[in-house]
Structure 1
Amino acid sequence: MEKLNIDCLVLIFDELLDDSNSLYSCLLVNREWCNLVVPILWAEYPHYYLRMKIAKEKLSNVILSCLPTSSKQLLFDNNIKLPLTNLSIPLTFNYVSFFKDLKVKTIYNIINLVFKKEILIGVNYSKRRNLLEQEIYKLYISQCKSIKSLEWKTSQSLPSFPGALTCFSQLYSLDIGIDYINPDNLYDMAQICKDLNELFVYNISQDILGLIYLIDVQKNLKNVSFDFKTKKKMCKELSITLARKGGTINNLTLYNSIGVISHSFLTSLINLKDLTIDHDNDCASYEEVKEFQKHLANSKFSDLQSLEIAADLLCFKELAMLVEKTKGNLSSIFIYTFSKSSENTGMFLKTISNHCPKIEYLSTYIGPKDLIYVKSLLMNCRNLINLCLRSLNENDDIGDELLDILTNFSPKVLTDITIYGGWKYSIDVLEKFFESYRGRKLRFFIYYNYIEYNIHIVDVVKKYYSEGIIIGSNLLHYSV
């Protein structure tokens, strides 16, 4: 049998990555296979096993064993005792050098293992903890040749550690906790990594020049997520910088951004495919909300595929204007609001019906006059798999009408339906709806207090569950 060359073997082993048992058996074949498989396994090992207590301790001990003698001596001199008794035999590989992700949880697990029997308070503990953290990060940065993903939530000056240029030069994803780091270190990181694809930043409250510079130097920034907290000053420069990246950003997520950053940059994101805006902070003024709505309505995301808006404000009209300007590639829409007004919900449904033929997942609201648009939606959007409808007016009783429309017009692939609303349902209409799903498998959920006291509806759901038509429902758990 002709021997496969190393490149072919690596390609094969990479394909086996999702089957860890098979990949593990490959390293037992011979020394050459072992040398090829171990780096692949250990590049993923921390990610898969961090939740398991025994595995976490083993992983932590392996990393501690890789510390150089100088670090171990420094820690010993500062009364930091390492639990290395079960790893007295020299390691076969330098396992740390294989890691591709540097996660905060991995560092915390090691620190907790070392100090688990100590009282974790006082200046002395803080100093020793900081020293241990420093040496662990130095180990990673000096040994890892190409970290792809970094969670940067520490005051340690990571870009200044020996080996940082090599370690971070191919960084793909960067997750920053602004509250933890020294902002000046962002300038140093910007000199090293300029090909970030993903950037996640948390707890932004004002413009940070180092962060703005880091964003500016990126050549291919595609996925951006910003989490804002109570504002100190308006983030004007950050908005301008994001506008300059409008040609590359495909995915954008904003948390609590209204009133903290100007959304004028949205109109510059000409290649956006996924947009998520989640705002649960009610500190925004009326003027700030109107400013957000204006920029949302003026934006044009032709290639948009996923839209998620969760906010304590009404913007169905603006969302309809946004959807109308897409090219029909939207496959997922999720809308959630705390508002109780159903203004323009029908307009939004109508727009989805007319402009989203590929929609598969939809969660939105309906008012008492919107059933005609629900019918149109079901008739035009035949790829719809998952539908969630919420009521903004609990006083309207449209339950039977809604079920009739779902019975007569639902596409064959629509098998996951959720309804939030204080509507009543006749038993015969409900049974007719379930009968229309014979030959299919339905997941059906209804949420409102009335259901809890209607034993007949619960009994009907349980009946069709026993017949295999309904495969999941919240009503199966009610005992009335």
Structure 2
Amino acid sequence: MSQRPSQQQLLPECLENILSNLSETKDLYSCLLVNRFWCTVVVPYLWKYPFNIAGESKERCNMIIRTYLSCVSEDSRKKLLNAGINMSEYPCKPLFDYISYLQDLIIDQNTFDVVPLIFRLKNIKISSQHEIQQKLQIMSANDEWIFKSQKQLVEQELAKVLLKGCTKLHSLEIYQCDFLSNLIPKILLSSKLDNHNRPTSSSSKSLLLLNNSSPSPSSSSSSSSSNNSSNQLFYALREFSCGSLSDDKPTYDFLMMMANNCKFINSIKIHDIASLRLGKALASLVSSQNYLSCIDLNYSNFYNFSTYEQIFHSLFNDQYNQIQLPPHLQHLFQPKLSDNTKKKNSSDNSPSLNRLKLTKTILNNIQKPTLDFMIKKCNKLHSLELNNCVSINSLAPLQHSLTKLNNLKIFCYEQDLNFITEFFQISNINLKNIFLGWKINSPPHPTTTFTTSQLLFNTFNSPSPISTYNLEESFKRIQILSNHCTNVENLYLETIFPKELLLIFKSLIHLQKLSITFNEQTNWDDYMEELGENIPKELKWIEIRNRKNLPFSINGLQVFLKKVKEINEDLELGFKNTQYIDIIKKYDIKINNYDFNW
């Protein structure tokens, strides 16, 4: 008797594990065509992070928005049809509930630009963004009014379908744009309606509080249907980023509503918020988090610390990062403790924050109470990044509390380097990763405005000839680093001198990655043999960032490479200058010019 072929298939969990290891998006699209089972598994996987896949492509983002628009209700379809929007190309019911899979939502002018979509729905052929602008400019006043009305309606209906269907959101990025202006009122209206219909009995309040205080999103799935729409949208949120938001009441109310609904965010990134009112709302959002681990405060241009002061107060104040439960429910979550034990636990309690990043912030007016909070509560900080900040010496009192710091990344001005050397001396035999860059010129005035091309994160001023005094100071910094940070594995430095590099090689025996620029006013040939003889055995990659002038000859490089091959055969080079590539290949050393990272 012939046996039928086995119908056994991979479990969905196994297939998802396989898909997670596919690096190319085109491979995922190919998987859609294998069979129906594969399709049902791959589609949710693809639609978890559609905007990440789309990247900066407006065309791909527009395709995603078109797909989401096809998920609108029948009533919404009728509204759009009555407004002159042709919905015939969309099926009445899509094969998949695409929005329900969404976990990473990015809202900005690039991702949610509905103007090309409306032209398409009106059967107006366009080939480029430039052509769109031309068509908008030649519209009559009446056509322009109709077009704006249609645009607003499409954005409102998209907002509705997102608000209703997006229940698994883990990451949210919002930047000021037309769509956000239509989304926020919908969220606020939904929240008000649900608050109006919410039961107010003491037992119902307790249940709602329990739902909001549970750290596990999976445990809340059974009760998600009873939660309001805005709570469903934000309940599973773990990462939040915002930037350049309008300083108006709806935006403030929206952030305050998030503070009431979001309790389990791990990472908050705030870009270009200069308004004190929005700073207060974001401070409330920060203070309501129970598991916050990363704060990234980022200005594009230089601003004073005043807006972020509120956020820091809320972050480091004793009363925050605590779940407040009614007395009759506290015993369900923690054992009964004696008064002495409670006092001891409350005094030892530390925040969960372990990563802090400040960008383009003027720190000279930071208040003492804020520093006191930081000193007390930053004792678990693992990563500190100060990117192009002014007056980082103001943070000197913080140094003693950063005893567990592993990662230090600083771009600063030369006069602030004393802060770094003091920091190395005080804290940190624990430092594993140091990324230190500096500018020689003076810091900007607070009112100075910069273009993107001038941001320090992207470019550095070319170093000027260094005086004897600066050379001595430079060697002193490297000497302190080598003496106190002996466990460093990854190191990025600005212009370096031969004796400094030799000291690094001899002292930092655990070094694995090193990125440096050789000082071009020094003849390195006399040091190349000694440098090669002292290359750390654990060093896997060294990057020489000089692009034009190399301060050593072909012979000097050959001497260095010959000694390196005797000690460290697996060493790879990052080499931006093409002049000596053939020499490096001759010694069978791999060239990998990937970006320096931790």
Q: Which of the five TM-score ranges fits, normalised by the shorter chain? A: 0.7 to 0.9
The answer on 1:146 being equivalent to 2:168 is: yes
Listed one character per residue, the Cα deviations across residues 2-30 of structure 1 (whole Å, up to 9, x for unaligned) are 9689xx53354245323264796488445
Contact map agreement 1:100 1:146 (CA 8 A) in 2: yes
Partner of 2:327: none
**TM-score scaled by length of structure 1:** 0.79
Listed one character per residue, the Cα deviations across residues 43-98 of structure 1 (whole Å, up to 9, x for unaligned) are 1344224456765454332111112233333344444x35x554347421111111
Query: What secondary structure, in the 3-state scheme, does the structure 2 residue paired with 1:318 have?
Result: helix
Of 307, 316, 327 in structure 2, the residue corresponding to residue 243 of structure 1 is 316
The answer on 1:384 being equivalent to 2:511 is: yes
Change (3 A) 1:93 1:461: closer
Partner of 1:98: 101
Listed one character per residue, the Cα deviations across residues 122-170 of structure 1 (whole Å, up to 9, x for unaligned) are 8845554344323222211211112111112233316425422111111
Quick one: distance in 1 between partners of 2:591 and 2:304? Answer: 50
Change (3 A) 1:126 1:276: farther
Change (3 A) 1:256 1:266: farther
The answer on 1:463 being equivalent to 2:588 is: no
Change (3 A) 1:240 1:68: same
Listed one character per residue, the Cα deviations across residues 323-361 of structure 1 (whole Å, up to 9, x for unaligned) are 344454433211111116456433332333234344232
Quick one: distance in 2 between partners of 1:114 and 1:215? Answer: 38
Contact map agreement 2:410 2:435 (CA 8 A) in 1: yes
Quick one: distance in 1 between partners of 2:579 and 2:40? Answer: 61
Moved more, 160-169 or 12-21: 12-21
Moved more, 191-200 or 244-253: 244-253
Listed one character per residue, the Cα deviations across residues 360-402 of structure 1 (whole Å, up to 9, x for unaligned) are 321224666xx545333212323323323346x765x252355
Of 386, 389, 401 in structure 2, the residue corresponding to residue 277 of structure 1 is 386
State the percentage of identical aligned residues.
19
Contact map agreement 1:342 1:365 (CA 8 A) in 2: no
Of 103, 117, 122 in structure 2, the residue corresponding to residue 113 of structure 1 is 117
Contact map agreement 2:405 2:431 (CA 8 A) in 1: yes
Q: How many residues end up aligned between the 2 structures?
A: 447
Aligned pairs for 1:389-428 (under 5 A) are 389-390=516-517, 395=521, 397-412=522-537, 413-420=539-546, 424-428=551-555
Change (3 A) 1:423 1:109: same
The answer on 1:10 being equivalent to 2:13 is: yes
Partner of 1:174: 240
Residue identity opposite 1:278 in structure 2: N
Quick one: distance in 1 between partners of 2:471 and 2:316? Answer: 33
Query: What secondary structure, in the 3-state scheme, does the structure 2 residue paired with 1:175 have?
Result: strand
How far has the Cα of 1:433 moved from its partner? Answer: 0.9
Residue identity opposite 2:501 in structure 1: V
How far has the Cα of 1:177 moved from its partner? Answer: 1.7
Residue identity opposite 2:242 in structure 1: I
Quick one: distance in 1 between partners of 2:285 and 2:555? Answer: 62
Change (3 A) 1:222 1:112: farther
Contact map agreement 2:562 2:587 (CA 8 A) in 1: no
Quick one: distance in 2 between partners of 1:460 and 1:37? Answer: 47
The answer on 1:334 being equivalent to 2:435 is: yes
Quick one: distance in 1 between partners of 2:511 and 2:427? Answer: 18
Quick one: distance in 1 between partners of 2:239 and 2:438? Answer: 31
How far has the Cα of 1:206 moved from its partner? Answer: 4.6
Moved more, 171-180 or 123-132: 123-132
How far has the Cα of 1:443 moved from its partner? Answer: 1.9
How far has the Cα of 1:201 moved from its partner? Answer: 0.8
Query: What secondary structure, in the 3-state scheme, does the structure 1 residue paired with 2:112 have?
Result: helix
Residue identity opposite 1:468 in structure 2: D
Listed one character per residue, the Cα deviations across residues 391-415 of structure 1 (whole Å, up to 9, x for unaligned) are 6x765x2523553443121123343
Aligned pairs for 1:165-314 (under 5 A) are 165-180=231-246, 182-207=251-276, 208-228=279-299, 229-231=301-303, 234-235=306-307, 236-244=309-317, 247-259=351-363, 262=366, 264=371, 266-267=374-375, 268-279=377-388, 288=391, 290-292=393-395, 294-295=396-397, 298-314=399-415
Contact map agreement 2:490 2:514 (CA 8 A) in 1: yes
Question: Which structure exhibits the higher relative contact order, with contacts defined as CA atoms closer than 8 Å and separated by 6 or more residues?
Answer: 2
Moved more, 104-113 or 205-214: 104-113
How far has the Cα of 1:187 moved from its partner? Answer: 0.8
Quick one: distance in 1 between partners of 2:58 and 2:362? Answer: 41
Change (3 A) 1:440 1:40: closer
The answer on 1:361 being equivalent to 2:464 is: no
Change (3 A) 1:17 1:382: same
Query: What secondary structure, in the 3-state scheme, does the structure 2 residue paired with 1:257 have?
Result: strand
How far has the Cα of 1:37 moved from its partner? Answer: 4.4
Residue identity opposite 2:295 in structure 1: V
Aligned pairs for 1:306-325 (under 5 A) are 306-325=407-426
How far has the Cα of 1:42 moved from its partner? Answer: 2.0
The answer on 1:135 being equivalent to 2:264 is: no
Contact map agreement 2:561 2:587 (CA 8 A) in 1: no
Partner of 1:454: none
Aligned pairs for 1:1-80 (under 5 A) are 9-10=12-13, 12-19=15-22, 21=27, 25=31, 28-30=34-36, 34-50=39-55, 55-79=60-84
Quick one: distance in 2 between partners of 1:307 and 1:409? Answer: 26
Partner of 2:444: none
Residue identity opposite 1:239 in structure 2: F
Quick one: distance in 1 between partners of 2:378 and 2:426? Answer: 14
Quick one: distance in 1 between partners of 2:550 and 2:35? Answer: 64
Change (3 A) 1:414 1:10: closer
Contact map agreement 1:107 1:133 (CA 8 A) in 2: no
Residue identity opposite 2:267 in structure 1: E
The answer on 1:435 being equivalent to 2:565 is: no
Change (3 A) 1:259 1:62: same
Change (3 A) 1:2 1:326: farther
Quick one: distance in 1 between partners of 2:136 and 2:167? Answer: 36
Quick one: distance in 1 between partners of 2:14 and 2:246? Answer: 39
How far has the Cα of 1:467 moved from its partner? Answer: 5.2
Residue identity opposite 1:258 in structure 2: I
Residue identity opposite 2:559 in structure 1: K
Query: What secondary structure, in the 3-state scheme, does the structure 2 residue paired with 1:138 have?
Result: helix
Change (3 A) 1:230 1:334: closer
Moved more, 434-443 or 143-152: 434-443
Structure 1, unaligned stretches of length 5 or more?
448-457, 475-480
Residue identity opposite 2:261 in structure 1: I
